[in-house]
Amino acid sequence: MARRMSELLAQRAVDSFVGRKDELESLGQTIEAGGPLVVFVHGVAGIGKSSLLRVFSHQARARAATMVHLDCRAMEPTERGFLRELCGAIGCDTMTAPEAAERLGILSERVILALDTYEVFRLLDTWLRQVFIPSLGDNVRVILAGRMPPGPGWVAASEWQGLFRSLPLGPLSDEDASMLLEQAAVGEQEAQRIKRVARGHPLALELAASAATARSGVALEDALVQGVVEVLSRMYLADVEEPLTRSALQAGSVVRRITQSLLRAMLPDAAPQDAFERLGALPFVESTRDGLHVHDAVQEAVSGNLRAGNPMLYRDLRRAAWRQLRSEVRAAGVSELWRYTADILYLLENPVLREAFFPSGAQEVTVQPALPEDDAAIRAIAHLHEGDQGAESLLTWWQRVPQSFSVMRDGRGTVAGFYCMFDPTVIGRDLLNTDPITRAVGEHIQAEPMRKGERALLIRRWLGQELGEAPSPSQAACWLDCKRTYMEMRPHLRRVYGTLTDMATYGPTFQKLGFTPLPRLPIDLDGRTYWIAVLDMGPSSVDGWLSRLLGAELGVEEGDLLDTAARELVVEGERTPLTKLEYAVMEYLYHRDGSLVTRQSLLEDVWGYDYAGGSNVVDVVVRALRKKLGNQASTIETVTGMGYRFRKP
């Protein structure tokens, strides 16, 4: 029976793999009795983590182990997202965590669960470490692979001692680098030059080999001055003589993942299937079930080069991608929604948001639900940074709703801070009224009620042991954990309320994210001023909020009533398609904001000079538009006896 092309390519990748003997041996111990339960593989971009996992998967299956290999890029970083993806991989319906753990345990005598690209899964790290992995049977092993080293919850926690292993990946040895270049048909003299430049970095070696093969005497020494992968990626791009392949690589480097539909939108003059296949044939492009992924190190280099060298093209590609993603997400099922959220987050260049969802630094503290034994620490931190009245108001929630508290622990397990967060719409009015801050939030919800089924979150307070609410590792961990809750509550999360005292520090940041102060005076407790800010995400919840932020960043007005690209009305986040004639009339009025438009000018410019019908057809179309505009129908005014005037809301 003929083997599939994918199988042949996978086998070729295994056969051409060089080096990493010690690392493979270390991973192989997970198959043996008494081996580590969890191995955390980590290293810089392009160092070969995914390649190592692929080869180990091949070896593990040869030793009769069942290998379950998941890519974190394709999973929503929530419990439901992880379980949905896992159950699809192990052949079952979506289950609870204990049921999924039981299913894994009965697959075979040895089961290995590998999570690749783990750096994008930091939102779920605590749940995996504290809940899911401890529930696995003793025949299941876990391998995590990502850029960042493991956090203190893995390394310092006493319960993981002897069961957890950190496996850092460094450069290839000189011998292994020589073997890799020999496979690429690079001559010995050229190989010596490349090794001096690449310094054992696998991706750099491959890029340099490609550049040297394409152009003899290429000035590889330039890479010694700047980032190796960045310079080599530019060289590779310069050697791509075919314009379509070069354009496809640029487009694929601007977005998180590339699909044929995105290529159609970003490169309208190209055949999307041809561009997609050309891009997929490049050696540093990986094909996954949700599209093509340019290797992140190359992706960053190419997009950075495009941003600096041709900012207009860079912006236009991002705009086209945003419009296409915004169109596709409306038809996306629940299981696909996260991919589009991640796509929008990737396009956003807001450093606060990027860092909040995908932190770039090392994890200094871990977040977990507060325990009764944390009482003394929580009280001490509250009284240290709040006045008496402020502390007592906050501790009311610790006494009566302890499940609303989470603590941040440092590497020693000591409480380094805490935060309190809950949904005020499910808290009784009597309890809300005991605290002046939550009373104000309750009054705002009552004055501006949300739709049925919509929910809210109140971040009542976050405090670090040393710096209070000021920026710190504890504060960063708090915000990261809050984003996990955002994901879990969508698409029902409508509003987020936050309480702060340092408006000078946080005000500009909150404003950029869409927060506005509540329309009442700030609250004074013990001479300390507390501000309450609210973010109304709109009916489209988290995804609508992120899309609006990206639209503003790209200079595209997401809040406009008329989406000219999609030919739809957008009213309070809800989209309504227009007929060809309705769109033509609406566009004509829309681009003449504030000006009188006569019926005659509409007939001549929309229907055409040769139109012989009556002018009442204009009134019929306007009535249809007003009906579709709903609460915004008044934006089209009637000027008696003359025509209409459109005014943007």
pLDDT band at 615 (very low <50, low <70, confident <90, very high): low
Give yes or no for a contact between 586 and 635, defined as CB atoms under 8 angstroms apart: no
Query: What pLDDT was estimated at residue 224?
Result: 43
If one compares 19 and 615, the residue with the highest pLDDT of the two is 19
- The pair of structure tokens assigned to 498 is 């936050």
**546 pLDDT more than 50:** yes
Please state, as a whole number, how many other Cβ atoms lie within 10 Å of the Cβ of residue 161: 9
Long-range contacts of 565-568 (CB under 8 A, 24+ apart): 565/323, 565/327, 566/323, 566/326, 566/327
Q: Looking at the chain, how many residues does it have? A: 649
**8 pLDDT more than 60:** no
Q: Coil, helix or strand for 406?
A: strand
* DSSP codes joined into one string, 205-244: HHHHHHHHHHSTT--GGGGGTS-HHHHHHHHHHHH---HH
What are the φ/ψ torsions at residue 66 (nearest 5 degrees)? Answer: -90, 125
Identify which of 420, 501, 492 has the alpha carbon closest to the alpha carbon of residue 468. Answer: 501
Query: What pLDDT was estimated at residue 552?
Result: 83
pLDDT band at 211 (very low <50, low <70, confident <90, very high): low
Please compute the mean of the pLDDT values over residues 461-475 and round it to a whole number: 90
Pairing type for strands 516-517 and 568-571 reads unpaired
**95 pLDDT more than 60:** yes
C-alpha to C-alpha distance for 477 and 540, rounded to whole angstroms: 26
Give yes or no for a contact between 419 and 510, defined as CB atoms under 8 angstroms apart: no
Query: What pLDDT was estimated at residue 2?
Result: 44
**156 pLDDT more than 90:** no
Query: What pLDDT was estimated at residue 462?
Result: 94
- What is the per-residue pLDDT across 413-455, written as a single tens digit (0 to 9) for each? 899 999 999 999 999 888 999 999 999 999 999 988 888 889 9
Half-sphere exposure of 278 (CA within 13 A, CB side): 20
HEC secondary structure over 332-359: CCHHHHHHHHHHHHHHCCCHHHHHHHCC
Query: What pLDDT was estimated at residue 3?
Result: 47
Identify which of 582, 602, 610 has the alpha carbon closest to the alpha carbon of residue 643. Answer: 602
User: In terms of C-beta density within 10 A (0-12 exposed, 13-18 middle, 19 or more buried), how is residue 297 classed?
Assistant: buried
Look-up of token digits 């876990």: 142
Look-up of token digits 């005292």: 501
As separate numbers, helices (DSSP H) first and strands (DSSP E) second, the chain gives 28, 21
Identify which of 205, 244, 250 has the alpha carbon closest to the alpha carbon of residue 223. Answer: 205
Query: What pLDDT was estimated at residue 223?
Result: 45
State the sign of the Cα–Cα–Cα–Cα dihedral 347, 229, 73, 89: positive
pLDDT band at 13 (very low <50, low <70, confident <90, very high): low
Q: To the nearest whole number, what is the mean pLDDT of the chain? A: 85
What are the φ/ψ torsions at residue 39 (nearest 5 degrees)? Answer: -120, 130
Residue type, 116: D
- What is the per-residue pLDDT across 377-408, written as a single tens digit (0 to 9) for each? 999 999 999 989 999 999 999 999 999 999 99
**254 pLDDT more than 90:** yes
Vertex 50 angle, CA 185 and 354, to 5°? 120
Distances 632 to 23, 359, 449, 538, 629 between C-alpha atoms, Å: 63, 40, 19, 16, 5
Count Cβ neighbours within 10 Å for each residue of 414-445 and write b for 16 or more, e otherwise: ebbbbbbbbebbebeeebbeebebbbbbbebb
Query: What pLDDT was estimated at residue 234?
Result: 64
Query: What pLDDT was estimated at residue 338?
Result: 81
* DSSP codes joined into one string, 111-148: EEEEEESGGGGGGGHHHIIIIIGGGS-TTEEEEEEESS
Query: What pLDDT was estimated at residue 350?
Result: 80
Give yes or no for a contact between 470 and 505, defined as CB atoms under 8 angstroms apart: yes
- Choice among 74-83, 92-101, 352-361, 575-584 with the minimum mean pLDDT: 352-361
pLDDT band at 164 (very low <50, low <70, confident <90, very high): very high
C-alpha to C-alpha distance for 543 and 541, rounded to whole angstroms: 6
Query: What pLDDT was estimated at residue 240?
Result: 67
HEC secondary structure over 512-576: HHCCEECCCCCEEECCEEEEEEEEECCCCHHHHHHHHHHHHHCCCCCCCCEECCCCEEEECCEEE
Please compute the mean of the pLDDT values over residues 313-327 and round it to a whole number: 89
Identify which of 108, 118, 100 has the alpha carbon closest to the alpha carbon of residue 40. Answer: 118
